[in-house]
Structure 1
Amino acid sequence: MTDRAARFAAAYALLRVAADLGDHWIQSDHQAVTKGQHDENEGQSSRAGRLACTAHVATYTATQALVLAAGSRALGLGLKPSRVIAALALSAGTHWWADRRIHLKALAEATGKGNFYTLGGPLGGNYALDQAFHHFVETIAAAVATSK
């Protein structure tokens, strides 16, 4: 295994564990319930949704940054700060985009996954597609973080 491959694998593992922590332990109940709100839905507020999603992504990204920094130091990965910042910006921006829900739903519908998106309620298809999207982006972010 090359040094770059090992660094990539370690960075991906660190980003993945941090994402699980940020999404499932650090995110508040209020953020989880509110981040997908839109004015088009009765009793909901787009502003409240945007604020909750932004707060969630801030703590999510901080968690990824702390875990990646600590892991990089402990494992001697020697990640460049500029690359880590770029990776975290990619992760944060796409995480916000997906967690507002309407964008990911539109993508699911455009790719023929609309029925799967609605399958099984809120922790069914839409959650699976959400997590798959985040895993995909974290793979790219790990490649960005470990590039020379």
Structure 2
Amino acid sequence: MTTRAARFAASYALLRMAADLGDHWIQSDHQAVTKGQHDENEGQSSRAGRIACTAHVASYTATQGVVLLAGARALGLHLKPSRVVTALALSAGTHWWADRRVHLKAVAEATGKGNFYNLGGPLGGNYALDQAFHHAMETIAAAIAASK
């Protein structure tokens, strides 16, 4: 029998590893470039952005689900299916919300992080804040998955 702390630690490690795979290896280039598009951006389609983001989040969540279930089985974690579904739903919903970009940008601006969000470069502020948000949500998801 595993403790809740052990289930949490293992669930978090599995979700985090799967998130990196889903965000950086499995996500297509098209999805990465298009998922944040909004009509107010010149020449960009909000519909195309929603479709790309939804496709990305579907593959991202599937990756997390496969890794979490396989890892839990291999480690003998005995996670409750209903908790796993709830954890993955939280991860998926918050991931979609953040990856549409406009919402996370608004939060950054409201909390005084607008300048940091707008830093350029491949690992600029928007990427750092995006990843920090995802890590926080995965922590909550892991706690949900680990509970009995």
TM range (shorter): over 0.9
Question: Which aligned pairs between 1:47-66 and structure 2 lie closer than 5 A?
Answer: 47-66=47-66
Deviation, 1:122, is: 5.2
TM-score (norm 1): 0.97
Q: Provide the rounded CA distance (Å) in 1 between the counterparts of 2:121 and 2:100.
A: 17
Structure-2 residue corresponding to 1:44 = 44
Provide the alpha-carbon RMSD of the alignment. Answer: 0.9
Q: Which amino acid aligns with 2:47?
A: R
Deviation, 1:44, is: 0.1
Q: Provide the rounded CA distance (Å) in 2 between the counterparts of 1:11 and 1:123.
A: 27
Structure-1 residue corresponding to 2:81 = 81
Q: Where in structure 1 do 4 or more consecutive aligned residues deviate above 2 Å? A: 120-123
Structure-2 residue corresponding to 1:27 = 27
Q: Provide the rounded CA distance (Å) in 1 between the counterparts of 2:131 and 2:114.
A: 16
Structure-1 residue corresponding to 2:100 = 100
Structure-1 residue corresponding to 2:134 = 134
Percent identical across equivalent pairs?
87
SS at match of 1:123: coil
Q: Which amino acid aligns with 1:79?
A: L
Structure 1, unmatched stretches of 5+, are: none
Count of aligned positions? 147
TM-score (norm 2): 0.97
Q: Which amino acid aligns with 2:115?
A: N
CA offset digits 1:57-81 (Å, max 9, x no partner): 0000000000000000000000000
CA offset digits 1:81-107 (Å, max 9, x no partner): 000000000000000000000000000
Q: Provide the rounded CA distance (Å) in 2 between the counterparts of 1:29 and 1:115.
A: 26
Q: Provide the rounded CA distance (Å) in 1 between the counterparts of 2:122 and 2:46.
A: 19
Deviation, 1:121, is: 3.7
Q: Provide the rounded CA distance (Å) in 1 between the counterparts of 2:122 and 2:50.
A: 19
Most deviating of 120-129 and 62-71: 120-129
